[in-house]
Each structure stands twice: as structure tokens, then as C-alpha cells.
């Protein structure tokens, strides 16, 4: 019986029951499938989240003028090239105009160092 259940195995017990019901039959098939899912280690059991619940999502404000809201990101591990080879750069994106600006630098830094570089 176990081989038949494995053949029809789906992500959930309900879907597996539907497949077995559609394509096969044997005595006590519903009980066998349920028992298999109770003891099966192949798929994780349903679990509840144990951490804090996520807060409400906040919509990003739309800027009213250029350089009012910036997106800042580091681009690191750049390949070497040229005489003044930089190892990283800071990418600034003006959310109003949506155009990027790249500031070359030789290292990635903390938030305070990034603020000073900009």
C-alpha cells in the first residue's frame, strides 16, 4: 500500500487523497493515506510562526522635487580595470527623476562613512 501512496504523493494530504481517489482503490485507502502522512518525514508538518507578526506595509512616498528622496546601494567586488581601479561604488538613485548616479570608491563602509562620502 505504501508504494501506491508514494506513487500518488502530492504536497498536501488532501491533494494526495484526491489523486488516489481518482486513479486507484483498495480497502481502507483513505485511512492508509492519512496514516502515511502522519508518519511521513518527507514533507514538513504545518507549523505556526513563532516570531513576531510583521507590521503593516508602508507605502514609499512619492517625491515632489528632485533629490528629495534617494535610494542608496553599494556595488562591491568590481573587477579590476584601468589606471584608477576602484573596488566598489555607491549607487544613488533620485526617486523623482529615476536616474542613477555612481560614486566610485575603494571600500564599502558603514552608514556613517557612506553619509560622509556622499
Contact 81, 89 (CB under 8 A): no
What pLDDT score does 10 carry?
54
Contact 44, 12 (CB under 8 A): no
Any idea which of 18-27, 41-50, 51-60, 92-101 has the lowest mean pLDDT?
A: 41-50
- 107: Cβ contacts below 8 Å, ≥ 6 apart: 87, 88
Write down the pTM of the prediction. 0.45
C-alpha cell at 9: 504523493
Residue ranges of the domains in the chain?
2-39, 70-117
C-alpha cell at 60: 514609499
Q: How far apart are CA 96 and CA 70, in angstroms?
A: 9
Q: How far apart are CA 81 and CA 75, in angstroms?
A: 15
Any idea which of 26-30, 48-52, 107-111 has the lowest mean pLDDT?
A: 48-52
Contact 65, 94 (CB under 8 A): no
Helices (H), 1-118: 2-7, 13-23, 29-39, 111-117
Residue linked to cell 489523486:
19
Amino acid at each position: 500500500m505504501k508504494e501506491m501512496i508514494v506513487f500518488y504523493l502530492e504536497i498536501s494530504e488532501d491533494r494526495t487523497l484526491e489523486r488516489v481517489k481518482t486513479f486507484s482503490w483498495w480497502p481502507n485507502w483513505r485511512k492508509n493515506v492519512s496514516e502515511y502522512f502522519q508518519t511521513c518525514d518527507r514533507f514538513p508538518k504545518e507549523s505556526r510562526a513563532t516570531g513576531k507578526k510583521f507590521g503593516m506595509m508602508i507605502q514609499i512616498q512619492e517625491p515632489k522635487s528632485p533629490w528629495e528622496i534617494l535610494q542608496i546601494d553599494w556595488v562591491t567586488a568590481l573587477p579590476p580595470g584601468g589606471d584608477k581601479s576602484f573596488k566598489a561604488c555607491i549607487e544613488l538613485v533620485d526617486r523623482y527623476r529615476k536616474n542613477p548616479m555612481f560614486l566610485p570608491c575603494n571600500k564599502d563602509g558603514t552608514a556613517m562613512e557612506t553619509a560622509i562620502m556622499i
